[in-house]
Amino acid sequence: MFVSRGDNADKNDNNAIITEILQLRAERAKLLGFPTHAHWRLENAMAKTPEKAMQLMEAVWKPAVLRVKEEVADMQKLADNEGAGLKIEPWDYRFYMEKVRKARYDLDQNEVKPYLQLDKLREGMFWVAGELFNFKFTPLTNVPVYHADVRVWEVTDKTSGKHVGLWYFDPYARTGKRSGAWMNSYRSQERMDKPVTTIVSNNSNFVKGKPGEPVLISWDDANTLFHEFGHALHGLSSNVTYPSLAGTSVARDYVEFPSQLLEHWLSTPEVLQRFALHYKTGEPIPQALVDKINKAATFNQGFGTVEYLASALVDMKLHLAGAQKIDADQFERETLAALGMPEEIVMRHRTPQFGHVFSSDGYSAGYYSYLWSDVLTADAFGAFTEGKGAYDKKVGARLTKYIFSVGNTIDPAEAYRAFRGRDPQIKALMIKRGFPADAEKNSSNEKTPTRSKIKKR
């Protein structure tokens, strides 16, 4: 039922309106002088052309599909050993995946949490910002806030003492607050008439502890904390003339790059040793536990990548072909069959329910952006590890100069080249996801997997 939403031949069926949206988008693109909607949407993106985005997706697709086969084999073996008497189907995947995770990695989140105190991790983020961006955070009590839970810090340059901006932190859940975690920009940096500094906030939904009790968070939430702080630092580092080009106002396939990149500093020993401290004993998190976390990081990446990429590929192909009268259902089936979609997985967002792509132009021909940003992220961190490590001052200075401070004033591809000394390569992403780094070459001899039964959903 969930995967058939909007596809039930009733009054809520979206297939006809998808055909119409695609045709109108194609028509508009033609009027604007572009061959397809995808070409128009990507002109201002870092990828620039649909072909470049497709190239990346296709390079990652094959090794991801091969990994899915391994994941399915692991799950099948476990199910067989249990005498389950079944063949793994899409509705079995998550259930058996959790069983394999537990059997293989023995990682219990409750073992990790006592080391992850929200306040200590916030201090850790400030410390990282000091090392990488030369920022100092000083709490302010004389600034108005919209809720008693919200706290404000003044950000200054550690060396000159110059005012950089304000950082608001609104960490706790409360009635009426949006769920999830995000960064807000209240005021963008600019100097059109006179210098204006950045005001940003980070927002999350942690459950407030009792007075005097630390708030303990999960490893995933700690990553998200660093991620959103990355967006905030992108805003705070801004050093441009025009507000419309400042901070995080960058291309859609580039905006998650600075934030995803900052996630990498959470797991540096410098941060863990100083700030991931047990709330009772004050002991830093044991290395054995960190190793377990790292080892489990590539688990199930076949599923995650294929589930996501199937949607991203269909999105791009629909917007390359949209001028024809497309039957969305048939198009999706045929595209997935041609790709060799594993039959144990369903697209993360099937076409009739693909809000990213059809509720607005937003992510249309742009769902690939998440993968694109992740290529940059993985490759960029390599600049540090190939140098003196995560806190290499020289690399950090280049990061500020070419990535964090320039907003949308430099072509992102040029900015990246200036930072890295070359174009991004996908090798680091493959390693990060646990795929063979030279999978592209190896898989060329593989027979393309075929979809043995294609169901009409």
Residue with Cβ nearer Zn ion (189 or 259): 259
Interface with Zn ion by CB under 5 A: which range of 33-41, 255-263, 394-402, 430-438?
Answer: 255-263
Interface with Zn ion by CB under 5 A: which range of 158-166, 252-260, 341-349, 366-374?
Answer: 252-260
- CA quadruple 83, 295, 273, 206: dihedral sign: negative
**Residues 51 to 80 in contact with Zn ion, rule: CB under 5 A:** none
Residue with Cβ nearer Zn ion (259 or 305): 259
- The footprint of Zn ion on this chain (CB under 5 A) covers a number of residues equal to 2
- Counting contacts by CB under 5 A, is residue 15 touching Zn ion? no
- Residue type at 379 in one-letter notation: D
Instruction: Decide: 289 and 112 in contact? Cβ < 8 Å.
Output: yes
Residue nearest to Zn ion (CB): 259
| CB of residue 258 to Zn ion, shortest distance in Å | 9
Residue with Cβ nearer Zn ion (221 or 256): 256
Alpha carbon distance 33, 36 (integer Å): 9
- Quote the tokens at residue 71: 């994941």
Residue with Cβ nearer Zn ion (230 or 396): 230
| CB of residue 256 to Zn ion, shortest distance in Å | 5
Alpha carbon distance 233, 202 (integer Å): 10
First to last CA, the chain: 10
Catalytic residue among 71, 131, 190, 228: 228
- Counting contacts by CB under 5 A, is residue 259 touching Zn ion? yes
- Report the SS3 class of residue 256: helix
228 is catalytic: yes
- Counting contacts by CB under 5 A, is residue 311 touching Zn ion? no
Instruction: Decide: 373 and 254 in contact? Cβ < 8 Å.
Output: yes
Question: Alpha carbon of 153 to those of 133, 136, 144, 166, 204: distances in Å?
Answer: 16, 9, 12, 6, 17
**Residues 421 to 440 in contact with Zn ion, rule: CB under 5 A:** none
| CB of residue 140 to Zn ion, shortest distance in Å | 26
Question: Where would I find the H helices in 199-327?
Answer: 219-236, 256-263, 269-275, 287-296, 301-321
Residue with Cβ nearer Zn ion (142 or 179): 179
Which are the catalytic amino acids?
Answer: 228
Enumerate binding residues for Zn ion (CB under 5 A).
Answer: 256, 259
